[in-house]
Chain A
Amino acid sequence: MSTTKLKGKIKVASRIVDHLSSGLYESPSACLKELINNSFDADASIVNVFVKPDADRIIIEDDGHGMNAEEFEKHFKSVSESYKRVENEVTKKFKRKKIGKIGIGFIAANEICDELELISTKKDSSDELNVKINFAEIRKDPQGRIKNKKGELDKADYEGEVLTTDKEKSYTYIFLKKIRGDAKDILRGVGTTEHMSGSISLYGKSHKSICEILKNKKIRSWSEFDTYSKNMLEIGLNVPVRYHDEWLPAGMRKKVSSIVSEVENLNFKVFFDGTEIRKPIVFSPKEKNEKSLIEKFEFEGTHVSANGYFYAQDTGIKPQELQGILTRIRNASIGKYDSGFLGFSPSTNPLLQSWISGELYVDDRLEDAMNIDRKTLRITHPSYVELQKEIHSHVDKLLKRVRSDIYGSGTKERKKIKAEKITQKVREITDKSSSKIDKKTKAIIKEAWSIEKSTEKNQKNVLKKYTIDELYEVILDVASEVLDESQFNIFIRELTKRLNN
């Protein structure tokens, strides 16, 4: 067994430290997805993440190309600009476009844990790198941290050794230890307040079961999931995993099959405590008459190009997290869905805007507009401006189409269904009281509220809404004409009692 030792300080450029110190990532899932995207960049085909039962520690395991001591030291000696991209634009094995730009993925872990242990080896090498990184340094006051001549700050200490292992395999195992309080509560599924975590859990579910759950229209928001599951969904949204098999209504899948195939060809799977994570994007109209449409989006501009799709659905996109537009660069999402469609006027068809969900796979030129947090874009960048213009024009046209094809016909359809339901109900009520209603009266009722005769005029009558005074007026009028005085008074008293209950 080799005894090669390594020990040193991780140096991070000051501007990155400033971001990290102020909390670069909004949630534990955002930190975890950085590590998962590292695995993607390392040509891993399978990543296993282990969090349960209590998120005391988290393991991320991948079968990627691994890392040796030299690469580790080269990288962490100075985490700054463009290290990952200097060598290769695409990965060797799967020819994937690398997601990581400045290589802060490992350092991102400092936001959820105090200690990181890394075990890694490359194929055809018997050297196994074992390193422990201590993140305590980052949480010290910047004044207290050591600064070197380049103006870089000590980020963390590391020490490790090179041991021997099997030459046949390559892998990276990351152990996040001493998980910090709030992150731990969120990851284990209880949230940081008693109102934070919903009751639906995806733990232990197959991707097929998860797809069925996501099809359930009653789920209005991901907040209905416990925080453990919500993290799973957020990770699935960001990292380049495949789509669910039934993510769209069957008839629509062909239209976007090229997008689905491209993602599948990335050959990247992530498992969370044994559950395969897929993109949590599932659109499924529930009612048979609920209308939906899909449009492919393709744009080739001077400063940017993009392709993707727009999906719209009657009565709105649920859960609400899928409303808007999700931008992806190099297959990883930039933040979450933007329900404002890159700054589209909120007063233009506000209701119908919530009926649309789209994904955009944008080329690398937009990456220059991306801020270090990987969730926002600089809105003055030429690529952004050009894309924004195109999106706004597209959304404007789409909203018109949604209004005519879905909303308009949908409203008619809904009215018809509602009228049919009411006439059906009337028939049931009259059937129940059939012993007291004679044949002639029954026929009159049927004639008046006939489903078969649900013409627009009939529908209008059926759907007419009465206030109490209007109702009294009609009933009193009729009752006074057909009942004697005593029956009239008994009837009115009973009616009043019932309506007032």
Chain B
Amino acid sequence: MSGRPIDSAMSSKRRPKESVRELWLSEIEATNKHYSDTNYPLYLTMPGAEGFDIEMLIDSGIIRVTETESINEKDIKKIVAVESNNKAVLNLQKKFPGLRIEEQNLQNILKGDGLETWPKGDEKDIFCAHIVNLDFDGSIKCDKKNGTIIFKELEWIYKICLLRSNVGLKEWKLFLTFNAGTNNWKVEVLNFIKNFLHENIKDEKKFSDECKALFGEEMFSVFNSENKIIKNKFDFLDLQKIYMIFVPKFLSNKLHVNGWKLKTKINLYYGGVSGTAPMVTWIIDFLYDVEKLSTPKKIYKESLMSIFKGVGYIDEQGKLKN
């Protein structure tokens, strides 16, 4: 294959990753029971060249195949893969003939992370999938726009939410995964994150207690302090834990004013030992309630508190632990 990091990461049938896929499967099975949509797909995925999650959907019968193992015509619209690398596309097409593949990167299909341009037609429709699996092999990319720090992938999720509320879709499910180990966050970014978490640590006891329990005394004291972070001394595990709180809080904060409530069902870290990539993964339900727009703080609070409900980790044997 092409030798890309994403493909080696995705191709590994590591136990923790298999456990994550099992979690995905149970969510997809539950959604599939009520799926009868003829307009929008059930599942949008970034499967890498191997497409193990697609294989899983086929094995479970959610995606049916023909006698030649091509995707059954009846299920062709049920699944969309996003992959821009020619060789990975070929590999996917060989494994799953008939699979619909959008051959661009996600950012291109979304027409960037700004709100000036929007995907249209088929490109818009794929983001209306009932379940979106954004399985990134890298860390969140940061940028600066007009003096503000931008977290690119999180902006894309924000954009997907706005796109969906515009077409009147009220709920969806996000599988989100990042590698916390490829970050080269500048101290400026770390301080932004620290201050962002500090707001709630300072004001909300429950949030503060939960953070303390997850971070441990030493790291918690950094986030509890008013002092600036001078140097990035965080190890992989620290970064994974920062991701676990920062990502869902950032999304909750950005989306509550638009009427979106987040329910973080799964919030796990895995890997980071014996040379494996330190990953963080979430399953988040998004619920749009325009009537609750008058009480955005309530939405935000509910979204925030769900962050800690699914907190845990997956050990190297693939066992889920709290």
Question: Contacts A50-B97, A54-B100, A274-B97: A204 and B66 contacting too (C-beta < 8 A)?
Answer: yes
The interface residues of chain A lying within 8 Å CB-to-CB of B99 are 53
* Contact across chains for A52 and B86 when beta carbons are under 8 A apart: no
Say whether B202 faces chain A, with CB atoms less than 8 Å apart. no
**Given A53-B100, A117-B86, residue A61 in contact with residue B94 (CB < 8 A):** yes
Within the assembled complex, what's the spacing in Å between the Cα atoms of A175 and B84? 12
Taking CB as reference atom, which chain A residue is nearest B97? A274
Shortest B252–chain A CB gap in Å is 36
Q: Give every chain B residue within 8 A of A173 (Cβ-Cβ).
A: 86-87, 90
CB-CB under 8 A from B67, the residues of chain A are 204-206, 209
The answer to whether A119 and B86 touch (CB under 8 A), given A273-B98, A274-B68, is: yes
| A57 interfacial by beta-carbon distance below 8 Å | yes
Smallest beta-carbon distance A144→chain B, Å: 31
Cα–Cα distance between A394 and B272 once the two chains are bound (Å): 78
For residues 97 through 156 of chain A, which have their beta carbon under 8 Å from a beta carbon of chain B? 117, 119
- Minimum CB–CB distance for A88 against chain B, Å: 28
Q: How far is the CB of B62 from chain A (nearest CB, A)?
A: 17
B32 adjacent to chain A (CB < 8 Å): no
A48: interface (CB < 8 Å): yes
- Docked complex Cα distance between A276 and B70 (Å): 12
B70 and A204 contact, CB distance less than 8 A: yes
Interface of chain B: mostly helix, strand, loop or mixed? mixed
In the complex with contacts A50-B97, A57-B103, A61-B94, A275-B87 CB distance below 8 A: no
Question: Which residues of A (350-372) have their CB < 8 Å from a CB of B?
Answer: none
Known A203-B66, A209-B67, A274-B68; judge A61-B90 contact (CB<8 A).
yes
Given known contacts A201-B73, A203-B98, A204-B98, is B68 in contact with A275 (CB within 8 Å)?
yes
Give the interface residue-count category, chain B. 20 to 34
Within 8 A of A (CB), among B86-108: 86-87, 89-90, 93-94, 97-100, 103
Does chain A have a CB within 8 A of B200?
no
B72 within 8 A of A: yes
A205 contacts B97, CB within 8 Å? no
CB nearest neighbor in B for A50: B93
The CA of A274 and the CA of B73, in the complex, are separated in Å by: 13
* With A50-B97, A204-B98: A273-B86 Cβ-Cβ less than 8 Å: no
**In this assembly, does B69 line the interface, its C-beta being within 8 Å of a C-beta of chain A?**
yes
A209 surroundings in chain B (CB, below 8 A): 67
Contact B73–A204 (Cβ < 8 Å): yes
- Nearest-neighbour CB distance to chain B for A60, whole angstroms, equals 10
* Complex alpha-carbon distance, A275 and B98, angstroms: 11
| A175 to B65 alpha-carbon distance, docked (Å) | 25
A123 to chain B, nearest CB (A): 18
Closest B residue to A207 by beta carbon equals B68
The residue on B at minimum CB distance from A60 is B90
A59 in the interface (beta carbon within 8 A):
yes
Beta-carbon nearest neighbor of A56 in chain B: B103
Task: Give min CB distance, A187 to chain B, whole Å.
Answer: 13
CB contacts (< 8 Å) of A61 on chain B: these are 90, 94
Cβ of B76 within 8 Å of any chain A Cβ, yes or no, is: yes
Chain A, residues 178-219, CB within 8 Å of chain B (1/0): the string is: 000000000000000000000001011110010000000000
A-B contact count (CB 8 A): 67
Among B68, B86, B94, B103, contact of A204 (Cβ-Cβ < 8 Å): B68
Q: Report, as a range, how many residues of chain A touch the other chain.
A: 20 to 34
Q: Which of B69, B73, B97 gathers the greatest number of chain A CB atoms within 10 Å?
A: B97
Whether the Cβ atoms of A175 and B100 lie closer than 8 Å is no
- A206 partner residues in chain B, CB cutoff 8 A: 67-68
Complex CA–CA separation, A61 to B91 (angstroms): 10
Tell me which residues across on chain B come within 8 A of A54, comparing CB atoms.
100
Bits for A45-84, please: 1 = Cβ < 8 Å to B, else 0: 0001010111011010100000000000000000000000
Q: Is the CB of B72 within 8 A of A59?
A: no
Binary interface profile of B, 106-127, with partner A (CB < 8 Å = 1, else 0)?
Answer: 0000000000000000000000
Is A59 a contact partner of B89 (Cβ separation < 8 A)? yes
- Chain A contacts of B93 at CB under 8 A? 50, 59
CB distance from A484 to the nearest CB of B (A): 68
Q: Which of A59, A204, A274, A276 contacts B90 (CB 8 A)?
A: A59
**Which parts of A260-300 form the interface with B (CB within 8 Å)?**
273-276
**Closest partner residue, chain A, to B65 (CB atom):** A204
Partner of A273, one of B70, B90, B103: B70
Given contacts A53-B76, A273-B70, contact A48 B94 (CB under 8 A): yes
Once bound together, how far apart are the Cα atoms of A201 and B76, in whole Å? 15
Q: Flag A460-494 by CB within 8 Å of B: 1 or 0 each.
A: 00000000000000000000000000000000000
Inter-chain contacts of B90 with A (CB < 8 A): 50, 59, 61, 173
Complex: A274 Cα to B77 Cα, angstroms: 18
Contact B68 A53 (CB under 8 A): no
A residues less than 8 Å from B98 (CB atoms): 52-53, 203-204, 273-274
Residues in B neighbouring A175, C-beta threshold 8 A: 86, 89
> Who on chain B is nearest to A203 by CB?
B73
**Are B97 and A273 in touch, CB under 8 angstroms?**
yes
Cα A59 to Cα B94 in complex, Å, equals 10
B89 and A274 contacting across the interface, CB-CB below 8 Å:
no
Q: Closest residue of chain B to A209, judged by CB?
A: B67
Q: A54 vs B76: C-alpha distance in the bound complex, in angstroms?
A: 10
Q: State which residues 27-56 of A face B: CB under 8 Å.
A: 48, 50, 52-54, 56
Minimal beta-carbon separation of A275 from chain B (angstroms):
5
- Alpha-carbon gap, A50 to B101, bound state (A): 11
Residue of A nearest to B102 (CB): A56
Q: How far is the CA of A164 from the CA of B65 in the complex (A)?
A: 36
Residue of A61, A206, A273 with most partner-chain B CB within 10 A: A273
**Residue in B closest to A54 when the chains form the complex, CB atoms:** B100
Contact B86 A205 (CB under 8 A): no
A56 and B89 CA atoms in complex are apart in Å by 13
- How far apart are the CA atoms of A274 and B92 in the complex, in Å? 12
Residue contacts A-B, CB under 8 angstroms, 12 given: A50-B93, A52-B70, A54-B100, A57-B103, A119-B86, A175-B89, A201-B73, A203-B73, A204-B67, A204-B68, A274-B98, A275-B68
The 5 closest A-B pairs by CB, nearest first: A204-B66, A274-B97, A273-B97, A274-B68, A204-B70
Extra inter-chain contacts (17) besides given A61-B90, A203-B98, A206-B67, CB under 8 Å: A48-B94, A50-B93, A52-B76, A52-B98, A53-B76, A59-B93, A117-B86, A201-B73, A204-B65, A204-B67, A204-B71, A204-B72, A204-B97, A205-B67, A273-B70, A274-B97, A274-B98
